[in-house]
Amino acid sequence: MEDAFARSVPEVLDFFRVDPSKGLTDIQVTTHARVYGTNVLPHQESTPFWKLVLSQFDDLLVKILIAAAVVSFLLALVNGETGLTAFLEPSVILMILAANAAVGVITETNAEKALEELRAYQADVATVMRNGCFSILPATELVPGDIVEVSVGCKIPADLRMIEMLSDQLRVDQAILTGESSSVEKELESRITTNAVYQDKTNILFSGTVVVAGRARAVVVGVGSNTAMGSIRDSMLKTEDEATPLKRKLDEFGTFLAKVIAGICILVWIVNIGHFRDPVHGGFFQGAVHYFKIAVALAVAAIPEGLPAVVTTCLALGTKRMARLNAIVRSLPSVETLGCTTVICSDKTGTLTTNMMSVSKICVLQSASHGVIAAEYNVSGTTYAPEGSIFDGMGLQLDFPAQFPCLLHIAMCSALCNESVIQYNPDKKKYEKIGESTEVALRILAEKIGLPGFDSMPSALNMLTKHERAAYCNHYWENQFRKISLLEFSRDRKMMSVLCSRKQIEIMFSKGAPESILSKCTSILCNDDGSTVPLTGNIRNEIESRFSSFAGKDTLRCLALALKRMPTGHQNISLDDEKDLTFIGLVGMQDPPREEVRNAILACMTAGIRVMVVTGDNKATAESVCRKIGAFDHLEDFRARSFTASEFEDLPASEKTSALQQMTLFTRVEPSHKKMLVEALQHQNEVVAMTGDGVNDAPALKKADIGIAMGSGTAVAKSASDMVLADDNFATIVAAVAEGRAIYNNTKQFIRYMISSNIGEVVCIFVAAVLGIPDTLVPVQLLWVNLVTDGLPATAIGFNKQDSDVMKAKPRKVNEAVVTGWLFFRYLVIGAYVGLATVAGFIWWFIYSNTGPKIPYSELMNFDSCLKRETAYPCSIFSDRHPSTVAMTVLVVVEMFNALNNLSENQSLIVIPPWSNLWLVGSIGLTMLLHCLILYVPPLSALFSVVPLTWDEWTTVLYLSFPVIIIDEILKLFSRKTTGLRFNLRPRRKREVRDK
């Protein structure tokens, strides 16, 4: 029954044909279960493990690598090769792919946990009336029409419509569903509201929420998937995970690279068809197989096998740095996504504010002897810690606030007319509350005011332990006064009272809504001398004026405090006693903004990131918070920037688009609105970060480009998110965005480094094949260079320092290529030099080396016909391992110099010297050490087909390698001087539309 909130109690009961005094019969229960279903969230079938594994290999580059590994394995078998060297290459490739697949499977498995944790919010049992009597049944057996009784501490077992109030009031904490900062009072009356949101349905008790005060009966109107919690589950199921911007760009580049690789491999094979019959191969088929192996080696050289591992490692390093900032990353790709965030949709309560209600202003009557003089006090401290001071209207701190009569009695009333508890948690090292936030705020106010006499001295209170200090002043007043009788808060009276006795003097303390308390007061306490004077019309008008200012301009939640001297021996109080009260004072409280949020908002504006506040609270309160945190500072009129969910839905379609582009505040929202907002922003090509902590936030967190859950939030929100804020602080998000941008910049640098290195390997093999000289490098050598000598420096590039102006640049566009046209041209030039230098080292050994044969270049080009003609040298020199060792060493050393080029995209090494990143210097040293090990340790040199090099050969290697520094310095200079030159890898489309 979807509109139960709009129906009267008799209408709802008639709909289900249930007698509220007897409940459903067994026959009705069976019928309703068949018609409406059971009260169980259906189990969602998870993706089979084998499908998760196979999906990790659905990538063109990965498929090419698998094909290359399989072909290498088959060719080794056809050629009769045995031993470790024969199968080393395919085995290593497959191991790398398996490791990357494992990471992907673990990530996707975590994403499905949110649905399971949603079940934790379902109640286990319910008190149900059936066949005329109450019984406790499993909540899963409830059906629509069941009569359920709920009381304090009960978790609501299904969606219920209130039918009978069994106490003065019923209050429910539904923050996990709506994000409201305080509990909600429920009522019986029907609600006729257009586009009603959960907050408007004040006669409905929602599944999974908790009763915090009162007792009532209700009828079940929704079970299982038809509850508010069920709609959240369905919304999460419909949400598909989106690829991150970096993943999309790497996939695009991978597809482009794969096509180029395939073309080059085929071209190399076709170019050498004329050499298939060369005698050195032993026949046409053997020649075809030989050059096919070269094509496979080319594919291995061109594909950066270590790229996925290095990207993962760099992102993992970023997560460690972000963890130190209190941002716990659950999904590695989200680290990079942060860098291009354009809109942050932030929850208000607990993220922008402390989620700790505290008194910020006090108003009392100072004196009435010479006209009406009211006094206002400001209160510092915004947490549940008993730390803060009282300041007068001039801003001067009061040393002993309890010496002022009104403040003293405010402390008494706050401590005694109170049912909450404040305590210190040594494990979490923070003060915690039990009870209503407003009552806890009064407890803390009593601690800040302190005690009269010696006990009020700050030094005396500061000597206490945190556990003792938590409620020391409150306990003092509770020991001084004995509570005799209590009148609980009711919706009609809007106040509560408590009768206390001290030294045979009975006093009634009252607190409540200012309009209710004032209407029952006939006198008022003066703060200057402690006297009591009649509450005249002028004084009443002054107090009402201050109340209007507190509630209106300052948007504070206000409470009034009063007392009454009762007759000696009075033991009970009734409603009739709540009259002729003495007004003590007015207190205004708020959930205060975090102090660091204003600067964080400013940093976002500077960085081109729009902050949108999204909350379930009312519009006036949220607007007040936005003014205080600076979200409206740049606006003269913010009415067009602030909308409730209902106001936004009523807008025409054309105006909605415009409103979305300007919106700063979105209030009175429910779960569907948050998800709608994320989708709408994404359709406008925005990269959206969404924060949340409740079960209601899970669908939006899952849908957002990066979902950010609060550390104090629900397990469902955390499981649906990409990142968790350990300190629930908005400023942490901004720090994480800066880190994300720095990580992306470093990621680009090592991707470009690896690409330029692989281009060099491709050029090396291609040029060798075109020139007709022997193979310069064997596949196992290429694999060593790709994984070890490329991988270590590439990872170290991830430690490049964050630019000082990283948060002054606008967010990068989602469709920005990782490697732009001009940069690809730059690295083609670098890659070409790397390849040519490698081939030059190979040729140098044959022609010029003192340890080589010193043969003419023409003989080298005709090496394949050596066996058919007379030569002055043995044909075995063409299988000597020296030339390939020189070539491999040139390739390694030139790439080490190229790694130094990638300390910055455009800055010279003179500006950013190598020692600015000691990790890179160390990785280069370690790489060279590992390379020397395979050269000079016999078992390793045999495995990699290399031999030790002489000093003369090392000198040549350095001469051939160092010029890559000079070439890149020239290209960097050209990049800095020339801004207009850009090349594009593909034609520019008229319109880039985000694929969602």
pLDDT for residue 106 is more than 60: no
**Nearest in space to 491 (alpha carbons), one of 512, 510, 521:** 512
pLDDT at position 645 is: 85
Helix 284-302 with 245-271: angle, nearest 10 deg = 160
Average pLDDT of the residues of the chain: 80
d(CA 737, CA 343): 11
- Position 434 confidence tier, pLDDT thresholds 50, 70, 90: confident
- Predicted local confidence at residue 267, as pLDDT: 79
Supply the pLDDT for residue 981: 42
Output the pLDDT for position 497.
Answer: 94
Higher pLDDT, 505 or 982: 505
Percent of the chain whose pLDDT exceeds 90: 24
CB neighbour burial string for 842-872, b if at least 16 within 10 angstroms, e if fewer: bbbbbeebeebbebeeebbebbbebeeeebe
Q: What does DSSP say about strands 581-590 and 521-525: parallel, antiparallel, or unpaired?
A: parallel
The Cα-based distances of 277 to 266, 284, 288 in angstroms read: 18, 5, 8
Q: Whole-angstrom distance between the N-terminal and C-terminal Cα of the chain? A: 34
Q: Which amino acid is at 733?
A: I
Position 115 pLDDT exceeds 50: no
Mark whether 168 is an active-site residue. no
Give pLDDT, residue 409. 96
- The token duo for 973 is 């200079």
Buried b or exposed e, range 709-729, using 16+ CB within 10 angstroms:
bbbebbbbbbbbbbbbbeebb
CA separation for the pair 126, 353 (Å, rounded): 36
Q: In angstroms, rounded to a whole number, what is the distance separating the alpha carbons of residues 848 and 952?
A: 11
What's the rounded Cα separation, in Å, for the pair 831 and 826? 9
Reported confidence tier of residue 588, pLDDT bands at 50, 70, 90? very high
Beta bridge partners of 434: 421
Closest CA to 996 of 772, 685, 753, 571: 685
Active-site hit among 347, 693, 697, 722: 347
Q: In the prediction, which pLDDT does 819 show?
A: 67
Q: Which residues contact 303 (CB under 8 A, 6 or more apart)?
A: 61, 64, 65, 68, 257, 261, 758
Reported as a pLDDT band with limits 50, 70 and 90, residue 264 is confident
Residue 982: predicted pLDDT: 41
CB distance 529 to 408 below 8 Å: no
Lowest mean pLDDT among 20-24, 403-407, 857-861, 916-920: 857-861
What pLDDT, in 10s, does the model give residues 182-193?
A: 678 888 888 776
Instruction: Determine which of 340-344, 518-522, 750-754 has the lowest per-residue pLDDT on average.
Output: 750-754
The pLDDT assigned to 990 comes to 35
| pLDDT, position 182 | 65
Name the one residue in this structure whose structure tokens are 């059971």: 38
Integer-rounded Cα radius of gyration of the chain: 38
Ramachandran region, residue 446 (left: φ > 0; alpha: ψ -120 to 50; beta: rest)? alpha
Secondary structure of 911-928 in HEC code, one letter for each residue: CCCHHHCHHHHHHHHHHH
Contact status, residue 354 vs residue 594, Cβ threshold 8 Å: yes
Q: Which of 300, 289, 223, 222 is nearest to 261 (CA)?
A: 300
Mean per-residue pLDDT, 668-692: 86
Amino acid identity at 251: D
**Range scoring the smallest mean pLDDT among 354-363, 606-615, 675-684, 861-870:** 861-870
Per-residue pLDDT tens digits for 145-165: 999 999 877 888 889 999 998
pLDDT of residue 220: 93
Cα 337-342-345 angle, rounded to 5 deg:
95
User: What per-residue confidence (pLDDT) applies to 535?
Assistant: 93
Asked if 39 and 100 touch (Cβ cutoff 8 Å), the reply is: no
pLDDT tens digit sequence for 123-149: 678 889 998 888 888 888 899 999 999
Phi, psi of 362 (to 5 degrees): -130, 140
Per-residue pLDDT of 358-388, as tens digits, reads: 999 999 999 888 778 899 999 998 888 998 9
> Binning pLDDT at 50, 70 and 90, where does residue 520 land?
very high
Average pLDDT over residues 437-447: 92
Strand order in the sheet with 184-186: 184-186, 170-173, 210-213
Convert the pLDDT of each residue in 54-63 to its tens digit.
766 666 656 7
Mean pLDDT of 286-299: 72
Domains located in the chain, CATH noted = 1-238 (2.70.150.10), 327-353+594-728 (3.40.50.1000), 364-574 (3.40.1110.10), 750-979 (1.20.1110.10)
Task: Kindly report which listed range (346-360, 508-522, 834-848) carries the lowest average pLDDT score.
Answer: 346-360
Of 459-468, 540-549, 858-867, the one with minimum mean pLDDT is 858-867
Residue 720 predicted with pLDDT over 70: yes
What does the pLDDT look like over 950-970, one tens digit per residue?
A: 999 999 999 999 999 999 899
* pLDDT score of 64: 65
pLDDT of 987 higher than 60: no
Residue 90 clears pLDDT 80, i.e. is over it: no
Band (741; pLDDT cuts 50, 70, 90): confident
C-alpha 347/C-alpha 611 separation (Å) is 10
How far is it, in rounded angstroms, from Cα 679 to Cα 683? 6
